[in-house]
A and B are shown apart, each in its own frame.
Chain A
Amino acid sequence: ICFLQVIWDIIGNKQFCSFKVKTKSQNFCRNEYSITGVCNRSSCPLANSQYATIREEKGQCFLYMKEIERAAFPARMWEKVRKLSKNYEKALEQIDENLIYWPRFLRHKCKQRFTKITQYLIRMRKLVLKRQRKLVPLSRKVESREKRKEEKALIAAQLDNAIEKELLERLKQGTYGDIYNFPVYAFDKALEQQDAESESDAEEEEEEDDEDVGQREFVAEDEVEESDLSDFEDMNKLKTSSDEEEQDESSEEEEEEEVQASRSKGKSPANGSLVRKKRAYVEIEYEQETESASRRRTT
């Protein structure tokens, strides 16, 4: 009918159509009754007086038909037919029976559209059954608060120290058995020395130092000549010597203990001790070397 042609002339090509969306390659029709989304002469709902669409609401599909006779009554223009059958084939038959004697294009396009709609409905139902990803909203304040608390907790934890302490504890309690053979005597001596130190006053220590000043060199020479057996043998020898040398012994022992204590306090680095004057450190050096050798063997 020629007025439709006029309509199409206007909205299709020359002037404005509010439903038209222009893209680089194609024009689309945003009209909700359009059967294909493309802006064509044959699929424009405004420019065709006999038109049919399938639309879907809440999982149910409806067939909408527009006929020439009702063109004058916009309120009654679209006739809605409910698709009663969930069955795909039956629904297709229903479309056919409603659109009998209609142009082939519309029938075909209606069926295509209906097919697509059912397919996406099926997919929606399947996805719901599968695991959904739940998005949990984060509160920025809470997150930043937790982050700050974590940092402070990390600082307060002093992890390295805690781990080292725990490992040393375990070593002391003997959970490692005989793997690490630190000389037990020296270890106990170090323990005793620590106890003794904590009990003694500062004054007494000063006295000891005074005593040792004169006797240091004498004592040191003796020890250098010893073999590289561990300390305790030397100590035994010295201990079992006569009582005349008790004082010397005691001072020597104290000196040794002091030496060991100051070494075991960890203040003296392993190799730096060589630089120090007391040659008692030499033997201790030996021990460390053998230890490291044994360690190398095990790794």
Chain B
Amino acid sequence: FFNKKKNKKAPMKDLKMEEESSGVEKLEPGTTFPPTFSVSEIKNKQRRHQMFMKLKQEKRKQKMQLKKKRRKEREALGDKAPPKEVPKTIENQRVFDETTVDPEDEEIAFDEGTDEFSAYFNGLTNPKVLITTSDRPRGRVVKFCEQLATVIPNAHVYYRRGLALKRIIPQCIARDFTYLIVINQDRQTPNGLVLCHLPDGPTAHFKVSSVRLQKELKRRGKAPTEHSPEVILNNFSTRLGHTIGRLFAALFPQNPQFVGRQVATFHNQRDFIFFRFHRYIFKNEKKVGIQELGPRFTLKLRSLQKGTFDSKYGEFEWVLKRHEMDACRRKFQL
């Protein structure tokens, strides 16, 4: 088949002839290529494809040989073998963020003692949450709001009758609410969340994705009870992450009721915050079983603003700038 091709192209230029012949010679042992030859220079697609496949096979073979050799060495050494190498993951390779919080950093501890959440963490205020939507909520958004209200103790859902947020906020403050949650919708599913800590606290705007309502969960338990759940915050390591973590923590009452055995988890992984709500049971001191109740959703932080909600004149502490921040795969903000 190769020979036929060669004969057909015989009357072509010399350069081509060389390439063809070298291509043919590859089948024979002990052939060499001109050093600047690469597979991509062959014009014929089928030939090129075949050459490439061969190249790949070669590479794979070499890799397998290397692997075998290494395994033999490891077995030969037995116990004295060097420890297995840890595979590289994105978490391992994460670009070091200079704003990572050191647990013993005094400055940060001082900051956190005097920021807007200090009132909550010192036990002075009890969280009271107002959940609302954008205009004319439809379908899943309504159900989502209701389920959120069951998950968060002391939460009230109010229908938004086209009121401007800037007018709602003073009213909320007057009635002692500590939190305002606005859920944005797009085609009957929630896709945005604005979380505003009320007495002039920070406002965080999130993108909401993959919402699963309680009905849609598999193997779920019964409805969440009125007990205040515990809160688990995972992987919030930078300064920004810390503020967001405290934002979430202040949603729930300070003293969880362990009788209820419910736990709400905010897990940050690669800048996505996964929210889950479970009921747990300790089977023995080494095993715990969890059962998912409650909705689940993922959040991605889009902006964090210093004061209460004010998109025009507010002072933005952090805004997601896609070009800068998404460029590196190993760099994360939270």
Contact = CB atoms under 8 A, between A and B. Distances in A.
A182 B270 contact: no
Main secondary structure of the interface of B (DSSP, over half): strand
Nearest to B230: A170
B234 A153 contact: no
B288 A168 contact: yes
A180 interface: yes
Contact of A157 (B269, B287, B290): B269
Given A133-B135, A150-B210, A159 B288 contact: no
Given A163-B290, A167-B263, A149 B278 contact: no
Contacts of B232: 163, 166-167
A88 B230 CA distance: 65
A45 B326 CA distance: 62
Contact of B269 (A156, A177, A266): A156
Contact of B263 (A163, A171, A264): A163
A25 to B, nearest CB: 33
A142 B322 contact: yes
A146 B300 contact: yes
A149 B207 CA distance: 14
B75 interface: no
Interface in A171-220: 171-172, 176-177, 179-180, 182, 186-187, 190
Given A157-B274, A159-B267, A159-B276, A150 B234 contact: no
B267 A190 contact: no
B91 interface: yes
- The winner among B278, B287, B288, B322 for most chain A CB atoms within 10 A is B288
A24 B144 CA distance: 46
A157 B263 CA distance: 17
A95 B204 CA distance: 56
Main secondary structure of the interface of A (DSSP, over half): helix
B89 A171 contact: no
Contacts of A182: 282, 284-285
Q: Chain A: interface residue count, which band?
A: 35 or more
Interface in B237-281: 258-259, 261, 263, 265, 267, 269-272, 274, 276, 278, 280-281
Contacts of A179: 258-259
Contact of A266 (B90, B91, B286, B322): B286
B283 interface: yes
A218 to B, nearest CB: 28
Contacts of A131: 135, 162, 164
Given A147-B209, A157-B269, A187 B285 contact: yes
A270 interface: yes
Contacts of A172: 285
Interface in B26-82: none
Q: Chain B: interface residue count, which band?
A: 35 or more
B282 A150 contact: no
A90 interface: no
Nearest to B210: A150
A166 B282 contact: no
B100 interface: no
A180 B276 CA distance: 24
Contact of A167 (B162, B164, B280, B298): B280
A73 B112 CA distance: 82
Contacts of B322: 142
Given A146-B209, A154-B298, A264-B285, 7 more contacts: A159-B267, A162-B234, A164-B290, A166-B234, A179-B258, A180-B285, A291-B284
15 contacts: A131-B135, A146-B300, A150-B209, A150-B300, A156-B89, A156-B269, A157-B269, A157-B274, A160-B290, A163-B280, A164-B290, A167-B280, A168-B286, A179-B259, A291-B283
